[in-house]
Structure 1
C-alpha cells in the first residue's frame, strides 16, 4: 500500500484528551482517515472503526444511532485505552449523494435502507478495511477488541491479518430508528440481540 502522510495533534474533548492523527493518502477528503488514540500501553486496545455519518453525527438525526455509536465508543476508548478510526466515507462508503437519495426513498416511498440502496443500484456496504488495518499496524496493533455489530468489519480486518475479538456495540432502539436498525440486522446481517441476529 502507498504510504500516507501523517499529522498529529492533541485534542481535548468532553471525554478527555486524545492524540488526534490524520492519515492522508491524497488531497481527496475521502482518502483521509482520522484516528483518535487513548494510551493503551501493553494492553489489547479497544478499537472502533466508524464511517462518517454527517446527518447523524453532526445534525443528530434521530433516524439512526450513529451519534450514539460515536459518543459511546469515544467514552469507552478514553476509559479503557485504544483508538477510534474514523473513515470519511458517508453512506457506508456509497457516498453522500447516494445516501441522501436513499433517505428520500425511505421518507417518500417507505423503503428501508437496504431496499433504497437496491433501488438505486448501489452496493449495500462497499467499504474496505485495508487502510484501517494499515493504521492498526502503524501503531503496532495486531490484536484488538473491536466495537462492532457488523461482521464485515470483523472479516475485513481479519483478512488483513488483524486478530479480532468482537465487542458488542448495540444501542437501545427508539421509535424513530427502530426500522433502520431492524433493516441493518435482518438485511445487512448485523449481529444484534434485539432483532434475533446475534446469540
Structure 2
C-alpha cells in the first residue's frame, strides 16, 4: 500500500451543467502518481452521501463499447447521484484496471483468441487489477466525505477505502443490464474477482443495431 494519507491538490470548484443535471466539478492532482482526477458533486438530503469511484475507461465511457459495462455504469451512477445527492470521482490512470490503454488493447486481442479478462492479463505478465484507491480516499477526505454509501459491486474498493480511513456504511449495487458482448466479462468479474453480481447472469439487453 502507498501512503495512507496521500497528498491531493484540489483546483477551483466550478459549475458543470450536464444532460444529467448540474454538478459542482473540481479537478484534483495526485502528488504521488501525478494523475489528474475529477469530482462531480450533486447536493442531496441523505445523511450519508452516495459515492461512486469510477475508473477511467476510454472505450466504454467515450465510445460506448459493449465489451465492458463501464460506460453504462458511469451513466447509471451520474443519474443516481443527481437523484440522491453525492459525489462521483472519475479516476484517471485506471485504464484497463490500471494496465494502460495499449496493454488493454493487447489484452482484448488475447480475449478474442479465447482468454478471459484475468487470463489475458496473466498471459501478458501483468497484474489482474493494478488499481490503487489511495488518491480517491485522499480526495474524499478533502471533500469531508469520511462516511459514505459506496455505489459498487467491487469488494476491492470497499476494502481499500476502509484501509485508508473511509467508513463505508453501505454498499449499493451498481449492476447494469448484461449484454451478449459483455456476458463473459461480467461472469469473470463475478467468478474470478468476487464482484457482487447476479448468480444467474444472462443476456438481458438485446443487441442494438446501428442507427441512421
Aligned twin of 1:126: 130
Measured after TM superposition, the shift of residue 110 of structure 1 is 1.3
Runs (4+) of structure 1 moved beyond 6 Å?
Answer: none
Q: Say which of 111, 135, 142 aligns to 1:138.
A: 142
Q: 1:3 to 1:69 in 2, by over 3 A?
A: closer
Q: Does 2:84 match 1:93? A: no
Q: Say which of 156, 161, 164 aligns to 1:157.
A: 161
CA-to-partner distance for each residue in 1:30-88, whole Å, 9 max, x for gaps? Answer: 61111101123672110000101101111111111111100000000001000000111
Q: Does 2:92 match 1:51? A: no
Structure 2 gap segments, 5+ residues each? 1-5, 202-212
TM-score normalised to the size of structure 2?
0.86
Aligned twin of 2:88: 84
How many residue pairs align between the two structures?
194
Partners of 1:5 and 1:167 lie apart in 2 by 27
Aligned twin of 2:193: 188
CA RMSD of superposed structures (Å): 1.8
Match of 2:12, SS?
strand
Q: 1:3 to 1:49 in 2, by over 3 A?
A: closer
Partners of 2:184 and 2:157 lie apart in 1 by 22
CA-to-partner distance for each residue in 1:73-118, whole Å, 9 max, x for gaps? Answer: 00000010000001112011111111111011112x1111111001
Q: Does 2:176 match 1:176? A: no
**Farther off after superposition, 35-44 or 150-159:** 35-44
Match of 1:4, SS?
strand
Q: 1:179 to 1:19 in 2, by over 3 A?
A: same
Q: Say which of 59, 63, 68 aligns to 2:67.
A: 63
Measured after TM superposition, the shift of residue 5 of structure 1 is 4.3
Structure 1 gap segments, 5+ residues each? none
